[in-house]
Amino acid sequence: MSKKIKTNYDVWREENMKDPEFRRLYKEEEAKFSVSQKIRRLREKLGMTQQSLAKKVKTTQSAIARIESTDYEGHSLSKLEEIAKALGAALVIDFIPTRKIKKSA
Amino acid sequence: MSKKIKTNYDVWREENMKDPEFRRLYKEEEAKFSVSQKIRRLREKLGMTQQSLAKKVKTTQSAIARIESTDYEGHSLSKLEEIAKALGAALVIDFIPTRKIKKSA
DNA sequence: TGACCTTATCTCAATATTGCTATATAGCAT
DNA sequence: ATGCTATATAGCAATATTGAGATAAGGTCA
């Protein structure tokens, strides 16, 4: 039934799972994951292949693979929007202040 | 009726909302605005000009103006990260499913 | 009025991302 | 083993974004 192909991401995750701190974050906060990984995980939840996602986004499998690679950081917002749509999701972006904001105008 | 889907971002926010300081800094209403507007509003709250922000991000005022223009959609994630940092904020990105995900996998 | 500050818009070159093909690897099944 | 499927990666052309300078518009203030 279920195919268990081990991706680079699987290898990466298994390796990192050896680290207790990583395990803690992995369980508690998926928010800690990169955009690339979020896309991959959502795609896999939907049972889609890179190929089928590529078709929906009108691009190629290799382009999806690149976007999902753990060390890729060249994402564009427009592409992310397209991908989100193809995955039946809404892309949410927000800026969260990490330090105090001065009251002055 | 339908279950409200709680995203990782929701969990993250709810958890942080327990902190009074975070609540003060975070304004729920901000979520409605576009990325361009969010940048502009946050910059103005900090009393910064496009010029001063440009300097922090090592670019020009015209580039900031372009990024803040309402109909601009060519944002890159890397630029947004830089801008967020310069504005003393964390960039949060999440995919929120808008339809049910099959239980499998 | 003029001087100054802030923002918007234009153009162009430099840089970055994307699309695409080909190819390699890995897992599973026959 | 072979064949099939899914993914990863390299190279290059096409496309898109960015950086920069010039300029214009609007506001404020003396």
Query: Is B2 within a domain?
Result: no
Which of A4, A24, A15 lies closest to A70, judged by CA?
A15
Query: Is A50 within a domain?
Result: yes
**A103 and B CB contact within 8 Å:** no
Q: What is the pLDDT of residue A25?
A: 46
CATH of the domain at A15: 1.10.260
| Tens-digit pLDDT profile for residues B30-44 | 555 688 888 998 999
User: CB-based contacts with strand D under 7 Å?
Assistant: A 3, 5, 7-9, 44, 49-51, 61-62, 65-66, 68-69, 76, 78; B 57-63, 66-67, 73-76, 79
Please provide the average confidence, as pLDDT, over all residues in chain A: 75
Decide if pLDDT at A81 tops 60.
Answer: yes
Q: What is the pLDDT of residue B105?
A: 33
Q: What is the pLDDT of residue B103?
A: 41
Query: Is B71 within a domain?
Result: yes
3-state secondary structure of A57: helix
CB A24 within 8 A of CB A18: no
Decide if pLDDT at A6 tops 60.
Answer: no
Decide if pLDDT at A87 tops 80.
Answer: yes
Decide if pLDDT at B88 tops 50.
Answer: yes
A17-21, B18-22, B86-90, B99-103 — most confident range = B86-90
CA distances from A23 to A13, A38, B104 (A): 9, 17, 23
Q: What is the pLDDT of residue B63?
A: 95
**Residue in the block written with tokens 């190629």:** A60
- B33-66 burial, b if ≥16 CB within 10 A, otherwise e? eebbebbbbbbebbebebeebbeebebeeeebee
Query: Is A36 within a domain?
Result: yes
Band of the pLDDT at B22, cuts 50, 70, 90? low
Rounded distance in angstroms from the CA atom of residue B79 to the C1' atom of nucleotide D18:
10
CB A41 within 8 A of CB A35: no
User: Which of A73, A92, A97 comes nearest B88 by C-beta?
Assistant: A97
Average pLDDT over residues A34-58: 91
Query: Is A32 within a domain?
Result: yes
Average pLDDT over residues A11-19: 58
Selected for mutation to probe chain A from B10, B27, B95, B102 (highest A CB count within 10 Å) is B95
Question: Which of A3-12, A64-73, B62-71 has the lowest average pLDDT?
Answer: A3-12
User: Domain residues for B46?
Assistant: 8-86
Band of the pLDDT at A64, cuts 50, 70, 90? very high
Query: Is A97 within a domain?
Result: no
Q: What is the pLDDT of residue A11?
A: 56
CB-based contacts of A10, cutoff 8 Å, min separation 6: none
Query: Is A99 within a domain?
Result: no
Q: What is the pLDDT of residue A59?
A: 94
D chain positions with any atom within 7 Å of a protein CB: 5-11, 16-22
**Can you tell me the distance from the alpha carbon of A97 to that of B84, in angstroms, rounded to the nearest whole number?**
9
CB B62 within 8 A of CB B92: no
pTM over 0.95: no
Query: Is B73 within a domain?
Result: yes
Decide if pLDDT at A28 tops 80.
Answer: no
- The domain total for chain B is 1
User: Which of B26, B46, B80 comes nearest A96 by C-beta?
Assistant: B26
Instruction: Please report the residues numbered 5 through 44 in chain B whose beta carbons come closer than 8 angstroms to any beta carbon of chain A.
Output: 7-9, 11-12, 25-26, 30-31, 35, 38-39, 42
